[in-house]
A and B are shown apart, each in its own frame.
Chain A
Amino acid sequence: MRPLLPTLFSAIPYVGESIVTLLWGGFSVDNATLNRFFSLHYLMPFIIAGVVVLHIVALHRFGSNNPIGIDTKGPQDTISFHPYYTIKDVFGIAVFLLLLAMVVFFFPNAMGHPDNYIPANAMQTPAHIVPEWYFLPFYAILRAVPDKLGGVLLMFGAIAVLFILPWLDRSPVRSARFRPLFRIFFWLFFVDAIALGYLGGKPAEGIYVILSRVATAWYFLHFLAILPLLSMFETTKPLPKSISEPVLKETLKRAPPLGAGLEPAE
């Protein structure tokens, strides 16, 4: 599937073909392509390591977020990482490992394709080319647009739009707990993303094309129209004065308390 990526650049007008040749290192996918994409992927862990450093710097500078989405007002609002979060993370990891073990030992092929057990044949591509499951939503967006350039732009735009999220959602309230309308739209968006993933795995024909167009339109509508409008017009519930305020004790009884630092306020 990887060679698909450079060919996407051929959608750029005028210089597209030259860029593809440059990325391929030749006029077709060949050893040079393999080499450069191997080095690119070798580079990824180092980039990730750099981002981890940024994450730790940010964590020490600004502290953890919390599901309430308000800043800490003093020592009564915080608890130490150890033992509270270490033990909570141990429980979380145990649950994750349990589910992982079930997949690994009993459904090892659940996320794979039968095609992967057929020896590669350069002269014969599989009947249905489907990307890995985590690419399916973006694949659905790519195919929903009849124009090649438009499809590629929207597909990359689906990720790029996340980078301007702070300017789209200007609501002063950080947590979805105090934004009733936002909650509804959040879950609509969740369903939309799952639907895109489902549609990406279906053949591009008939009702699937129409549905993926609707889902794609909703994806961008959510970010570009709904979020800015919500932050302008939504009436939010009153915020508690601090995390330790008594009103919060009520919330704590219902829901798991203060998320483990890494969970972003919705």
Chain B
Amino acid sequence: MIKHFSVVMIALFLTTPAMAAGSDVELQKLDWSFSGPFGTFDKAAMQRGFQAYREVCAGCHGMKLIAFRNFADLGYNNDEIKAIAAEYEVQDGPNDDGEMFMRPGIAADRIPLPYANDNAARASNNGALPPDLSLIAKARGNGPDYLFSLLAGYKDAPEGTAVPDGMYYNAAYPGHLIAMPQPLYGEDVTYSGGADDSIEGISSDLVQFLMWAAEPKMEVRKRIGVAAVFFLGVFVVVSYMAKRRVWADVH
């Protein structure tokens, strides 16, 4: 029975590559701090990633599922979160006169979006819609590696590849022609403390931040998982010994 079961499990995992997006791009494989069963997020990198998101990405990409209070996960305390939120202007209302008004953000607000709606976003970006980044790290195959390769993948088009106006050549993008202009050139963000501000350095900070945004509870999931697997492992051994003892008089 066990032999058959393991065969079926192996078969299931063999069929899963069917789900991976098939394309002609080579992704750079990085060793992320959050991969593996004991993986955790790098808080300092996430804070830098948020800074880079705010100063570079947020001009076009919203993160509508993330509220300022969620930044507690990044290692900010309440006062710091309130200070960050207050730097944003948030629309509220209607007031007693029926008018909408702007006020400084509070911890409970979501990060304000760069565009009022999709049409406004398209109108400002040559008809291309910048996707929301809240879940982007899980909404692409091999999300973290893909995002890193994409951000660091802007290159001159090879001989014979025609790049139309408003499109850019990217080694990691499926089809290689992407509507997003190169976002990072290195030294785009001034990090306090002298962290790596090359294209690769900022990209990997952004990936830490975006992976956290896509799955804020990942560390808890893995922590519970280790405990659950340990408990069940002991349970398997004990129940096998009990089974052996009960069946001893039959054999």
Residues on A facing B (Cβ under 8 Å): 79, 83-84, 87-88, 90-92, 94-99, 101-102, 104-106, 108-115, 117-119, 128, 130, 133, 136, 190, 194, 197-198, 200-203, 252, 256-257, 259-260, 263
Contacts and interface: CB of A to CB of B under 8 A. Distances in A.
Interface size, B (range): 35 or more
Interface of B: 1-2, 5, 7, 9, 11-19, 21-22, 37, 131-132, 135, 138-141, 143, 214, 221-222, 224-226, 228-229, 232-233, 235-236, 239-240, 242-243, 246-247, 250-251
- Interface SS majority for chain A: helix
Nearest to B238: A94
Given A106-B37, A114-B143, A117-B138, A95 B18 contact: no
A88 B232 contact: no
A200 B18 contact: yes
A101 B233 CA distance: 10
B229 A84 contact: no
Nearest to A112: B19
Given A98-B233, A114-B138, A130-B19, A90 B239 contact: yes
A215 to B, nearest CB: 13
A201 B18 contact: yes
Contacts of B242: 87, 90-91
Question: Which residue among A91, A105, A113, A256 has the maximum number of chain B CB atoms within 10 Å of its CB?
Answer: A91
A208 to B, nearest CB: 11
Contacts of B251: 252, 257
Contacts of B11: 194, 197
Contact of A98 (B7, B12, B22, B232): B232
Nearest to A197: B15
A238 to B, nearest CB: 24
Given A110-B13, A117-B214, A256-B2, A91 B243 contact: yes
B22 A203 contact: yes
B229 A201 contact: no
A94 B1 contact: no
Given A104-B225, A133-B15, A87 B246 contact: yes
B236 A105 contact: no
B1 A136 contact: no
B15 A263 contact: no
17 contacts: A84-B246, A84-B250, A91-B240, A92-B1, A95-B236, A98-B233, A102-B225, A105-B221, A111-B12, A118-B135, A130-B18, A130-B19, A194-B11, A198-B15, A201-B18, A257-B247, A257-B250
A133 B19 contact: yes
B140 A87 contact: no
Q: Which of A88, A94, A130 has the most CB of B within 10 A?
A: A94
Given A94-B235, A133-B12, A101 B225 contact: yes
B232 A94 contact: yes
A79 B247 CA distance: 10
B225 A117 contact: no
Nearest to B218: A108
B28 to A, nearest CB: 18
A106 B1 contact: no
A259 B1 contact: yes
